[in-house]
Each structure stands twice: as C-alpha cells, then as structure tokens.
Amino acid sequence: MTAAPRPNWLIVRVILAAQGGEQFVDAPGRDLLVSEMHTFAELAIAIDRAFARWDLSHLHEFRFADGRRIGMIDPDDLDDDAADLDEQKVTVQQAGLREGDTFEYVFDFGDSWEHR
C-alpha cells in the first residue's frame, strides 16, 4: 500500500490594504497556514474569519497579476470558461501559487475591501 502524498503548506500573509480605493496607513495583516490542497473558497473563508467579518453575503474574488480571477460562480450564468475559475473547485496547487507570489482578494464589490 502506497501512502498518499502529504500536502505542502504555505504561510500566506494577508494585508488589508485598502477600502473603497483609500489605502490604509499601518495596514492590518494576518498570517494564515494554507495547504496547497485547500480551495480558494476555503481560503476566502479563512481570510473573512481572520478579519472578523460577520456579513458574508457579499461577493468576493481573488485577482492575479496574470489577469486570472477566481471567485464565486453564478450557477445560472455558468459557461465553459467559468468552471476553471470556480473558487469551490480550484485549489492553491492548481492555481500554481508558489512562495513569493502575490495576489489580491477583494471582498464586497460595493465597499471594495482590498487585501494583498
């Protein structure tokens, strides 16, 4: 019997950088321990909990320097391309995140809480 491979773990530093386009001075941050097997939906939950969010009914998404966006997919408006961007399905490993990479997490498109 072959043992299943053990996932790699990353420490992801999340900084709450801005709200509504206004940059924070002395921006608060949190360090999260994330497995490469975690989905982006799980990462979003961890970020929201780390910043004590209570109203989780708002849309959110992850944005990458190469233009990719991973987030909540509307099942009524699902097209073939959107499946690759579904936060419920895409893992940290599948996104190819490596040490030193940066990305943005935006919570609530109206208030635009921007994390890096």
2 versus 62: the higher-pLDDT residue is 62
Q: Would the pLDDT of 79 be above 60?
A: no
Query: For 9-115, which CATH superfamily applies?
Result: MM3350-like (3.10.290.30)
Per-residue pLDDT of 16-72, as tens digits, reads 999 999 999 999 999 999 999 999 999 999 999 999 998 888 899 999 999 999 998
Give Cα separations from 57 to 92, 95, 108, 109 (angstroms).
Answer: 23, 25, 9, 11
DSSP 70: E
